[in-house]
Structure 1
Amino acid sequence: MFQKTLKVMKTLKNHMILFDAECPMCRVYTHAFVKTGMLDHNGRSSYQEETHAGTCPVYDRQRAVNEIALINLESGEVTYGVKSLFKIIANTWPVFAPLFAFKPFIWLMSKVYAFISYNRRVIIPAAETGFEYQPTFKLHYRLLYLLFTWFCTGFILTAYAHLLVGVVPLGNPYREYLICGGQVLFQGAAICSFDRRNLWTYLGNMMTISFAGSLLLLIGLGMSHLFQLSPVVYTLYFMAVAGLMFLEHIRRTKLLGLGWVLTVTWVTYRIVLLLLILNLN
């Protein structure tokens, strides 16, 4: 049934989407557009390549780095960002066309798109190729990302803390938010001591790790609604997640060329806080 659905999808012909080859997310979803027939088999190219230069030599290259560009190969018309995605989706599913033309919805989704796009290199990092054009850094979107991940992580950890009672004392409702926020400040101070230039890049990566770890804890929270398990089991699972976060922290700091100092301070902060929690309650 799924294969039949793919075959009847309407293809947006004579268009090429320019994606970021250094962005794993971009590679995946643009490949999906081609794989499902929403675009021609040659309907995608990375903007790092020069093979598309003749198709539309006047497109805004820096804007295409920030907002994915969709080029009409016949007219040379270029759309950017969420409008490019809307054009592809509406061509396949015309039922969404009125929604995609609704200005308040366009405005809202453009902000969501920008939030993801300007933070994509800290959500899923990859080794840079040294290409001339790189995503523009916008501080307000990075701060918003830090606040979003901080709140979500604190919220999930607060819920998970109830499963650890008997092994780890339950604190006040704000404890996990304070711990998570404190680590941002602590690690921010640590990186400023030797590489202030990478401050916001590192903090974005660090909070992605925390957020990803908290999402893994949702599995434990889900299990708690199905089974009555010992707090020791949930504690062991928490430690396993922390171990994965530790490995991911090492991987990301290596990609950023930041060495081992930040991993040491990251672990030290957590160990000191754990000892304080165990001994002061």
Structure 2
Amino acid sequence: MTSPESASLSHFTRARHARGDLQQALHNELVLKHRELADSVAGSYAGHGRDRGDLRQVAYIGLIKAVKRFDPAVGCHFPAFAVPTIHGEIKRYLRDQSWMVRPPREVQDLRTSIAKVYPLLTQHLVREPSLAELALELGCDEKTVSEALNCQSSLQPDSLDAPFEGGYVADVYGHIDTRLERAENLAMLALAIRKLTDRDKDLLFRRYFHEEPQQVIADRLGMTQMQVSRRLARILVTLQQEILGPPESSAPLSAEAASA
């Protein structure tokens, strides 16, 4: 009488030598037959912030790869070959895809180890293990273990719309970066100034960079204080229009201001 293990090996042998649709059908049958392996491995990674359905799908991908690669002539125990393959597929998924904010590789691996050790320690101690006990079991310092535990928020960061102390997270931590706005305004102003005449640039520089009084500028340039004031006003209007665009309804400058 043929044993289940012998029958399974015979199935793998047939699949390995088959081609085309027949090989695909045999592979599908083997995957369905051993899917409990994938379910078991996926369950060992389940925890807060990890979707069980996603883990199971990734585990099935690992199982499919194991079925296609397994050679019964090299090894006769498929589960011993498949389980490490499924573990590797899930670890790659958790490392590369599931982090919204990706921590260092060693922290990710340590968090996975904690997820496996934590329930075993809890069962052994009949209580939740302390940070020191986790560190001792894993052979790491407490600071590293604490960092791995705290990186949980990198999987599913809190929404800015989440309620927080009578308001929302965005109300507490969100703010407008005025430095970026100021840098953008300065860049636009620099472009607008480049379009001024050399005389207007010199006037603007003396008044607003050297902060010279209008009368001092007038005496230096052979102008009246009123002429300096009007010319500065016209320069500022020109810059404003260059940056913001002309207003929908703007009154033309007076003849006196235009000739200043």
Instruction: State if a TM-score over 0.5 links the two structures.
Output: no
Q: Which structure has more helix as a fraction of its residues?
A: 2
> Which has the higher Rg, Structure 1 or Structure 2?
2
- When normalised by structure 2's length, the TM-score is 0.23
Q: Give the number of the structure with larger relative contact order, counting CA–CA contacts within 8 Å between residues 6 or more apart.
A: 1
- When normalised by structure 1's length, the TM-score is 0.22
